A = this chain, B = another copy of it.
């Protein structure tokens, strides 16, 4: 089994956010849950932190229902970094969660610069891509909602929230007062909280897997629970580390196409990206054989660590690469084989779900 140290990004993230952990009540994801929860994202320490996840562990153990709420702001095409969130959703679904996966198109339009998402229409085109990917990854139509096509209660609730937060609180949290971003954040709070309204599931523990950079929204949503008159549990959250990008010093990001493998990348293009990815191997074969590679920075290895479900296989690759037995090019080939096989199967499903997604986003 790969150990904690293997994930430099997780470690970096934890270090960077350590102050927040103490200050805001985010806790390190405890060792004892890593093996209790039967998924490699927990076992491999990729889920680094949580808020009140105890409640969800207890619901799972007692086979009680809970809400699994997360989503994606549709400001680009979906890549492997996003897939992690959907993998977690699928895990919780199996454990009895009532799933709310938001395709946040209004949020994406309101919060992004005009260069990135010039119109609401553009956000909706990304929404079709993101939604078709999510469906191809195994969520059903019922698990998913499109933010721009919700019942009025959802929007009414969003406006209601605006009365419960002051402009100065907002400026304090986010350091700005851009009204588009205020809208986007209010929508995110509504996303997190609305499943607990009586018109949806009613009061019930909920968990939101989300990037650590989104924690201010989790915190704000929790603060709002205290100021609202609705019966609600404080929402729980878990924080998977950001998946490392294929290039050095960046996370996988849809703004930097060469950093990410998109779920709709052609297998050829994906292979090129993997072969060009930042390597933890040594410069010469001799040196590599002698000194071994560094899987902790190797992007091909990281892809496998984040996505390949077989612990034994991933562990063996780790040790073989570290010992110098496995060369960088060979590791990339293994990674490419895994990714390409996945993409081919995924894209067949994507093609099937694309018209379904389009109908859900744009209506008939």
Chain A residues engaging chain B, CB cutoff 8 angstroms: 106, 109-110, 119-120, 148-153, 155-156, 158-160, 162-163, 165-167, 170, 177-180, 182-183, 187, 229
Contact = CB atoms under 8 A, between A and B. Distances in A.
A156 B106 contact: yes
A213 to B, nearest CB: 21
28 contacts: A106-B156, A110-B159, A110-B160, A110-B162, A119-B229, A120-B156, A120-B160, A148-B153, A148-B156, A149-B152, A151-B152, A152-B152, A152-B155, A155-B155, A155-B158, A162-B179, A162-B182, A162-B183, A163-B179, A163-B180, A165-B179, A166-B179, A167-B167, A167-B177, A167-B178, A167-B179, A177-B177, A179-B182
A178 B164 CA distance: 10
Nearest to A164: B180
Contacts of A156: 106, 120, 148
A198 to B, nearest CB: 12
Given A148-B152, A152-B150, A152-B155, A163 B177 contact: no
A89 to B, nearest CB: 24
B106 A159 contact: yes
A159 B177 contact: no
Contacts of A109: 159-160, 163
A178 B182 CA distance: 12
Nearest to A180: B163
Contact of A182 (B160, B182, B187): B182
Copies in the assembly, this chain: 2
Residue among A148, A152, A182, A229 with most chain B CB within 10 A: A152
A187 B119 CA distance: 20
A249 to B, nearest CB: 31
Contact of A159 (B119, B151, B152, B183): B183
A163 B106 CA distance: 11
Nearest to A157: B120
Given A159-B183, A162-B183, 11 more contacts: A109-B159, A110-B162, A120-B156, A150-B152, A162-B180, A163-B180, A163-B183, A166-B178, A167-B177, A170-B179, A182-B182
A10 to B, nearest CB: 35
Nearest to A166: B179
A192 to B, nearest CB: 17
A142 B155 CA distance: 22
Contacts of A178: 166-167
Contacts of A182: 162, 179, 182
Contacts of A177: 167, 177
A105 to B, nearest CB: 8
Contacts of A165: 179
A109 B153 CA distance: 14
Contacts of A179: 162-163, 165-167, 170, 182
Contacts of A180: 162-163
A163 B119 contact: no
A109 to B, nearest CB: 7
Nearest to A111: B163
A155 B170 CA distance: 22
Residue among A160, A179, A187 with most chain B CB within 10 A: A179
